[in-house]
Amino acid sequence: MELTSLLIFAGALFVAAGSPGPSIAALVARVISKGFRDVLPFLAAMWIGEAIWLSLAVFGLAFVAQTFHVAFVIVKWAGVAYLAYLAWKMWTAPVAVRDGDMPREDTPFRLFFAGMAVTLGNPKIMMFYLALLPTIIDLASVTLVGWLELTLTMAVVLIAIDAVWVIAAAQARKLLKSQRAMKIANRVSATTMAGAAAAIATR
């Protein structure tokens, strides 16, 4: 693909993905509540989910999203339920912990599922790839190599954006030393996570 097309795609994705939404809210809430060391499965699922939407758009499989609409709805509501569960766990999390370390009870599989559900069920992401992307790039002319170039560009942009959010959330968490501050952080994170679930559920 032409460098200009890739740069336009990267710029549009940077604006769309960088703006706060359910995915970013869930990511930040998770890091503030539990730290960043075990957040990789959640992030990986978010990136894979976006790659799925990109592939559907590039290969002209938008009809698949419509044909299997029920499956996406199920994934969406399963994700909403799990985000609500995480919000409840954050709200009730103990604050008397040693060395400022929060307990990590969620398995990598659960975190991966949560990240995938948030991404596949996020209408903002869906609309970007299936509605906005075709107006930015002539998808009919995209070859397999072009798809790989778009996927790599997408990965670079998303990793850069999410890394900034993770670092910012991790730094904010370091400032929370007292039990009172940690309790407030847990409640704020729980509210943010619940808000992400509500945002997905109402769209």
Are the beta carbons of 124 and 22 closer than 8 angstroms?
yes
Contacts 24+ apart (CB under 8 A), 174-181: 176/32, 176/100, 177/100, 179/95, 179/96, 180/95
Estimate to the nearest angstrom the gap between the alpha carbon of 141 and the chain centroid: 29
Q: What is the pLDDT of residue 96?
A: 47
pLDDT at 189: 59
For residues 85-100, average pLDDT: 58
Q: What is the mean pLDDT of residues 25-43?
A: 79
Report DSSP letters for 93-118, one per residue.
Answer: -----GGGPPP----HHHHHHHHHHH
Q: How far is residue 131's CA from residue 164's CA, in Å, rounded to a whole number?
A: 27
- Using DSSP's 3-state secondary structure scheme, residue 78 falls into helix
Q: Per-residue pLDDT tens for 142-173?
A: 888 999 999 999 999 999 989 988 888 887 77
**Model confidence, pTM:** 0.67
Rounded CA separation 53/119 (Å): 9
The percentage of residues in the chain with a pLDDT greater than 70, rounded to a whole number, is 63
